[in-house]
Amino acid sequence: EFERVAYSLRPGEVSGIVETSFGFHIIKLDKIRGPERQARHILIQPELTDADRTRTEERAREVAEALRGGA
């Protein structure tokens, strides 16, 4: 998704919010030089609390158990 958005921008253009597995990005394309793109981006990585991690792990276990049970 990041690359798709970066390659769709024109020089000087700023993207909307792009979500990847690393977090949320805002991309600005500085210039195009031949096949290369020079861009900058801001990355915001949300911080998860211990409670968030615990809930996520519990939900993953539930899904895995359901899949093993043939769901």
pLDDT confidence tier of residue 14, bands split at 50, 70 and 90 = very high
Alpha-carbon distances of 8 from 52, 53, 69, rounded to whole Å: 34, 35, 44
As a whole number, mean pLDDT of residues 18-31 equals 94
Rounded to whole angstroms, the Cα distance separating 27 from 6 reads 7
pTM for the model stands at 0.67
User: Which range marks the domain in which residue 41 is found?
Assistant: 2-68
Domain count of the fold of the chain: 1
Rounded to whole angstroms, the Cα distance separating 42 from 18 reads 10
